[in-house]
Amino acid sequence: MEDAFKGTSDMPIQDLAHLWLQQLTPTLSKYLTFAIAVWLLIWVVLAPFLKPRKIRDSTPYASQLLTELAISIRSMAIFAVAGVAILHLERLGFYSLQPLARSWGALWYWTSLVATIVVHDAYFYWSHRLMHDPRFFRRLHRRHHRSNNPSPFTAYSFDVGEALLMVVFFVVWPMIFPMAWGVHGLFMVFQIARNTMLHCGYELRPARADGRPWLDFMTTTTHHDLHHAQAGYNFGAWFTWWDRWMGTEHPEYLARFADRAWRPIGPQPSPQVGDSR
């Protein structure tokens, strides 16, 4: 990602189609790599061994997976358009904080990545709740929820409006926050990997002795799967904070998680339904 932006201040922008393809190729390759790898490993190779971890009894039809794949590729194409826009905006001086971020060294590099993940989680939570407003749902978010039983290919199966709303963050955030372009690239890898796993349909996070997830502040596959099953809950992307602060965590989340997660050997207490300590 960093190489794609290097030297853009004096890059002659003549062939928009070529630039768009340059932006599309790395994003699409990452998405296809993670989605296909997760599907092949978890849904095919390890499926007999992971059966107790499967969240839903049913499995989506192949037609759903193919539709999700096609729509996700469309979303990648929209993200690539935003990448071309970033190249133009960089040439026009809109990303003047990049040199400052680089001058602050390695500590800031990794700090800015953590900050970006945390801020994006807040952006996602509130934009996600906005998309569930009845006035906007059909135009912005219905496509994603047609995958009531999600798969690894559901991750970027977005309506056009949702894809645009998601990519706005990546266009605007580097304008107001000093982060190197390399951080932008790392965050994209983080997002694709986490998003694919949240839709994978199997609960792979181990549980503590009390049945709660290890790293309980992070969302699990069960957490997001419940959102697809009952859309009024669990709007968070990477962390459970906002759902717990705003009272939108599914009341059965912890019990559902404990029912599918790996548990320590020996007797363990069951988590209380609705307990979100």
pLDDT averaged over consecutive 10-residue blocks of the chain (277 residues)?
46 69 91 95 94 93 96 96 91 92 94 98 98 95 95 96 96 96 93 96 92 95 96 96 97 94 59 50
CA pair distance 52, 258, nearest whole angstrom: 12
Cα distance between residue 17 and residue 20, in whole Å: 5
134: helix, strand or coil: coil
Handedness of CA 54, 62, 30, 16 (dihedral sign): negative
CA–CA gap between residue 101 and residue 183 (Å, rounded) = 10
What span, in angstroms and rounded, lies between the C-alpha atoms of 4 and 109? 18
Q: Map residue 248 onto helix, strand or coil.
A: coil
Residue written as tokens 């996700």?
72
Can you give the pLDDT at residue 16?
77
What DSSP character marks residue 152? G
What's the pLDDT score for residue 269?
A: 52
What is the reported pLDDT for 263?
67
